[in-house]
Structure 1
């Protein structure tokens, strides 16, 4: 078994919805977390997002004031990747863009001082092996795919590349389950992994129904919520995920498999071009209050 206590210093790169969620869960579970963003302004915004989330937990009775304060004390924020040098686990949670992730992995490979440090990606669709071979520690690179919102969703997909060592897989799984308290499944290193390989065609089919005028978004969503006991309909889920993220995932999967069911529908592409990205922009298939 891996030595669980040794994986107690976490670095998270990116403090958007996913990165902040990962950092919050880790800090609440007693892990020392350093969060890196690309600018001081983004680092400050990330800290504000995390503080607001912890304060919501306090107001709703999910946290005590002491738990909130202890979690904040375990969180540090930086815009200098060099501050992650002592991390034993680093998880990237930046934009779902291959070139951005490749460049980041090359930098992290140089920054992490411990050659045994686990370098993980939270990618939704990019093959892990592509990121692994960009580093000099391919055996230590693994996928850890969390789900939004991270504090609520229990699942983590553990995705070993062909280059990932068995020890890294065991350490990553133990980190996700025993330290973060999540439930892990092992997924193949193919675009979409397990969950998105099933979910994305379903979401895109809902977009095509709207595009064809076959049904209204609210009827599609209520149909799946009431008829199939889904907690959220596909179009509301797309708005939550972010239509730009959904398009990027679909394009990555289509690039690998060339299956028409993975191709982003024209309506989705037009909405992204218009800036109608879902909840984060205030408008997607539905309109949201600021």
Structure 2
């Protein structure tokens, strides 16, 4: 798909982020650092406080690395939290949903956000593989909706995958491309399809690497070194799986298995590791041990 021509972009004045986990906090940090006022929705006082702490920690690290134009405290002052989607302001320019990969949950929260905000607000989902078209069916105005697939860790990643559903308005795509540029990131624009471009290709490589471990072809370090050193990937597919989360990879594999067929069938080793709670970096153990 060809890119839409862009006017001089500026940061959205007011951004809502639904979900304050690793991805949501990273999205909030990125927009706040670009100058936006950001409201993070996280259910419960404790979870909301934890979300703001994640943003604060990320900003502190960015400041230490010289990646902020202001102090971490000045940027953090633009970030607030609320506990329900109903509290999102009517004049928000953009609302990004970043909750776990559950289509029904995403659709319910986005429909509630649509009722809270004004008709000009752009709504986006950060899903890495679920159908943007199916989620859009829950909305009264699907033309204002698209996918903005950010990558982990959001502040340091270079890419946003813009996913266009059949009803997405051209002006909404143009706005999303402009905001991506303001964040200092590059875009790829894809039509809505299972796994989009990034998750579909990345998962195919990751699943085959897991099968190679399962079959005793090589140790994880050897497989990763083959791709890192031989093909110049920033990291190998198994280390990346640990970073993304084995549970996340399994959920995407199950979705693509159901929609695209047997080539995306999850290996038994992946299912067994998830069942044992070996989810990667976030639990301290995946294909590698993480201190």
Query: Per the shorter chain, which TM-score range?
Result: over 0.9
Gaps of 5+ in 2: 1-5
Is 1:98 paired with 2:103?
yes
Deviates more, 1:191-200 or 1:53-62: 53-62
Partner of residue 166 from structure 1, selected from 170, 178, 202: 170
TM-score normalised by the chain length of structure 2: 0.93
TM-score normalised by the chain length of structure 1: 0.94
Write out per-residue CA displacement over residues 193-215 of structure 1, whole angstroms, 9 at most, x where no aligned residue: 11112111100000000111111
Is 1:185 paired with 2:152?
no
1:240-251 mapped onto 2 (5 Å cutoff): 240-251=243-254
Write out per-residue CA displacement over residues 18-77 of structure 1, whole angstroms, 9 at most, x where no aligned residue: 11111111111101100111221111111111111111222333346x431221111011
Contact 1:188 1:194 in 2 (8 A): no
Structure 1 equivalent of residue 17 of structure 2: 12
Determine helix, strand or coil for the equivalent of 2:266: coil
Partner of residue 120 from structure 2, selected from 116, 134, 148: 116
Q: Moved runs in structure 1, 4+ residues, more than 6 A?
A: none
Structure 2 equivalent of residue 228 of structure 1: 231
Determine helix, strand or coil for the equivalent of 1:150: coil
Contact 1:127 1:191 in 2 (8 A): yes
Partner of residue 288 from structure 1, selected from 280, 286, 290: 290
Count how many residue pairs are aligned between Structure 1 and Structure 2. 285
Contact 1:204 1:261 in 2 (8 A): no
Write out per-residue CA displacement over residues 257-284 of structure 1, whole angstroms, 9 at most, x where no aligned residue: 12x2211111111111111100011110
Partner of residue 154 from structure 1, selected from 151, 154, 158: 158
Gaps of 5+ in 1: none
CA distance in 1, matches of 2:283, 2:153: 17
Write out per-residue CA displacement over residues 161-189 of structure 1, whole angstroms, 9 at most, x where no aligned residue: 01111111111111222x32221111110
Determine helix, strand or coil for the equivalent of 1:197: helix
